Amino acid sequence: MKLFALKLARASRTWIVLALALTAAAIPASAQKKNKNAPQTDAADELKNAMHEPDSQAIDRAIGESIGYWQIGDPDSMRKYYSDDVVLVSGTYEPPVVGWDDFLKAYKAQRAQVTGARMDRYNTLIKVNGNSAWATYQFVYVASMNGKVVQFRGHTTLILAKQGDRWVITLNHSSIVDSSAPEPAKMTDSGLSGTDKN
């Protein structure tokens, strides 16, 4: 009986760890950065803290959360970070997308073509001037499209406006600097070949 109890405890521990890992993966990127040892706060405390948060930190948090919701495919939660008349300029040569409704259509069309989309941002700079601000950052985007892995590297510049107590994106301009679709490795007589040659 004792052996059975130990096996059951180990199995339960494995399922708990797996459930926690899946939960962490579904949380937006900025929410994952929170200190695990920080005391828990309720919604009223979070609102009070957000009201005293410096604008540059609020903007950084909003960018992180919007990217997090974008990655997990939650446009309803992503909506609060964009103005109704947002303008989006993509890294490809195509007309700008104007307005939330058109952005939502473009977003859904893109999501239908890719799986496993992930975007990481680096080197974020933020400048606040009253109720307007801009932010710029580098990004790496990786996804699977038509069975192949695609990767884009580039820069994004955002123009933001303060509406009430929150910052919303009014312009999102991205430029792709580098893109690649890795070639699958090929088998040769001497083994696996790739781009690495000695």
Domains of the chain by residue range: 53-181
Longest dimension (CA), the chain: 69
Q: Which of 22, 29, 23 is nearest to 119 (CA)?
A: 29
Give the tens place of pLDDT for each residue, 134-156.
999 999 999 998 889 999 999 99
Fold assignment, 53-181: Nuclear Transport Factor 2; Chain: A, (3.10.450)
The pLDDT-based confidence of 180 (bands split at 50, 70, 90) is low
Give the tens place of pLDDT for each residue, 84-105.
999 999 988 899 999 999 999 9
The structure tokens listed for 178 are 């580098």
Please name the residues in contact with 143: beta carbons below 8 A apart, sequence gap of 6 or more.
114, 115, 116, 117, 118, 149, 150
pTM, two decimals, is 0.65
Rg (CA), the chain: 21
| Cβ count within 10 A of residue 159 | 16
Give the tens place of pLDDT for each residue, 4-50.
343 434 433 333 333 333 333 333 344 433 334 444 545 555 555 55
Q: What is the mean pLDDT of the chain?
A: 76
Q: Are 169 and 86 in contact (CB under 8 A)?
A: yes
Q: Are 156 and 171 in contact (CB under 8 A)?
A: no
